[in-house]
Structure 1
């Protein structure tokens, strides 16, 4: 709680600011730049099932909060479920099946991996039930819509930032992507591998693992023991957060600058304090809000985009004070929201 409060104070934000209307907001909508405007209110209290991979960090707390806020504003009923981690695809499948038994009218799915839920989703879509792909990327045919940012673009934003610092100088990069098989990880790796293949970048892959502190700390320690003089380390938020602390407390043992592939409140704190160089943000709270609106539009047969993506913003010490933190995290008093879908 201390960390979140300090972030909000240092950025001059308050809960009243966080409660301000979130729209209109600049997005890419089916490839077109526009200001997204949601519906004023749903036509009825639709029952929507939300499936998230876990609730272990404030990234997903922010997603759940954004969903809950927009659901309340538009007057729909939500069931919000989290599977406990990327190592639990079977739990997420069981939660989807549970929502089917409860006859949910639409689904928002931040999938643990790209394909495991596709057979169940195919059944839902054959019955005309809207399914919105949220944040992580699904590779299922006939999804109703997607509210997500391409993590290939997120990784490219980090690479562009590194290139702007070093010009054409060859770079050694430590890479900690996250859980193997997750859509966002696969997308990020596409950019990293293309950059390595084009030359000028020596890539040191640290391996895959769940995005919890213990798993990522093990990978970071192993990487830095073998490559203590990396120019940069780029990793998921848990890996980058731990690596930044390790580098800061190691004296001169490690000589690497740390970036994260996405931003959480802990990453914001470490950017502010100079421990992490920079990170892009995909504005997960906005993705969540937009996903609710897309589901309602699909339920009501109203026009909607197939893919809506908030604008990626690269955050460093210079840019952080101007960033609207309510796009990234919930207010200080909000924790993870879990809720059974009302019958």
Structure 2
């Protein structure tokens, strides 16, 4: 049996050490289920998500992520570790090291199953590249839960995720609400991210559709890599070419990178920043008044729900097959009242790869 790469990158921690007082307080959580499940054109139905109080036994759950290199996946990891501890199950996280490592992700999941995993939760590197593996695992009677990224296989047990199209749409709706049809036209510089990426195209579509019919004029979208230097240059060029820009909206990196530029140029209050997803940097920017708003997809809760779905499937209990936290916009009005550990990992959180 091959070694489980990256399985024990941090010391295993006890359930008691992980289970914080707040862990019991995350539910019920406003969520949306998709009916019928897994359908591309499924209808969203509001639900209040309630996890199990405890698991019947210490099930062995394997969790596979593309990587744990940024705060987003750290947040998902925090969610799965905390929920495993709260439910009283064993959990191991393996991470492939990046989005180019599909073969490694497949190998790691195969190793998990060979070493006795009773359920698998997958943050997929590829939408279709894991389909054969999912089918093979499902044939063994092992539940497979798709978390965050999306997997195309019809053999999945459940999905815990949200739509980036909705994330883009929520951002557009927020602006359209401030500048409805009939009010004075305002210009928005829009930076969706790297051209061709599925999540970027989805967010772009949602944003553009949401501002239709409002007083928002979206300038020609500027696509580019989510490196800080690339995004900063794009914003600089857009402000230079369009002195009447009222908003800069785009990726979290765009908003984070543009904060200093806006301050340096004395444009605070004249040009506001928005991101279409949440990161610790964006959250801090909103708290400090440098970023106006961003929708939260509650990635921590997506991780928690995925573990609960896996346990429910193992225990043959009812579960929602396709569900995600309800997306809401965080802005100065609510930033101090939203529980941070629902939408982001705690400050200075160190990844926990094993729960016993």
Which TM-score applies when normalising by structure 1?
0.83
Q: What SS does the aligned partner of 1:192 have? A: helix
Alignment of 1:130-141 (within 5 A): 130-141=143-154
5 Å matches for 1:129-278?
129-168=142-181, 169=185, 171-177=187-193, 180-182=196-198, 184-194=199-209, 201-209=217-225, 211=226, 215-228=227-240, 229=242, 230-251=245-266, 256-278=271-293
Distance 2:229 2:85 in 1: 38
Deviations 1:193-248 (A, max 9, x none): 54588796435333353x5xxx2431331353255334433222223211223332
3-state SS in 2 of match to 1:269: helix
Per-residue deviation at 1:276? Answer: 0.9
Match of 1:57 in 2: 70
What is the CA distance between 1:22 and its match in structure 2? 1.6
Higher Rg of the two aligned structures: 2
Looking at structure 2, the residues matched to 204 and 89 of structure 1 have their Cα atoms a distance apart, in angstroms, of 34
Distance 1:196 1:314, change over 3 A: closer
Greater shift in the superposed pair: 323-332 or 286-295: 323-332
Where does residue 6 of structure 1 map in the other structure?
none
The range that moved more, 61-70 or 21-30, is: 21-30
Aligned partners of 2:235 and 2:258 also within 8 Å: no
Cα RMSD (Å): 2.9
Of 106, 119, 135, the residue aligned with 2:119 is 106
Query: How far did 1:19 drift?
Result: 4.2
CA separation of 1:256/1:52 partners in 2, compared to 1, >3 Å: closer, same or farther? farther
- In the superposition, relative to structure 1, how do residues 37 and 19 fare at CA in structure 2: closer, same or farther (>3 Å)? closer
CA shift in 2, pair 1:64/1:155, >3 Å: same
CA contact (8 A) 1:18 1:331 kept: no
2:55 to 42, 50, 57: 42
- Counterpart position of 1:82: 95
What residue ranges of structure 1 are gaps of 5+ in the alignment?
1-14
Q: Which residue of 2 aligns with 1:5?
A: none
Inter-CA distance 126–332: structure 2 relative to 1 (3 Å threshold): same
User: Aligned equivalents of 2:267 and 2:207: distance in 1?
Assistant: 28
Residue 32 (str. 1) matches residue 45 (str. 2)? yes
Compared CA separation, residues 227 and 32, structure 1 to 2 (3 A) = same
- Does the 8 Å CA contact 2:171/2:207 hold for their aligned counterparts? no
Alignment length (residue pairs): 322
Counterparts of 1:331 and 1:202 in 2: how far apart (Å)? 35
SS state at 1:320 partner: coil
Are 1:332 and 2:347 matched, yes or no?
yes
Structure 2 unmatched runs, 5+? 1-18, 35-43
Bigger mean CA deviation after superposition, 148-157 or 18-27: 18-27
1:129-181 Cα shifts (integer Å, max 9, x gaps): 21111112222222211111222111111001111222232533322335854
The answer (yes or no) to whether the contact 1:196–1:203 under 8 Å persists in 2 is no
Cα contact 2:171–2:276 (8 A) shared by 1? yes
Q: Give the structure 2 partner of residue 3 of structure 1.
A: none
CA contact (8 A) 2:173 2:211 kept: no
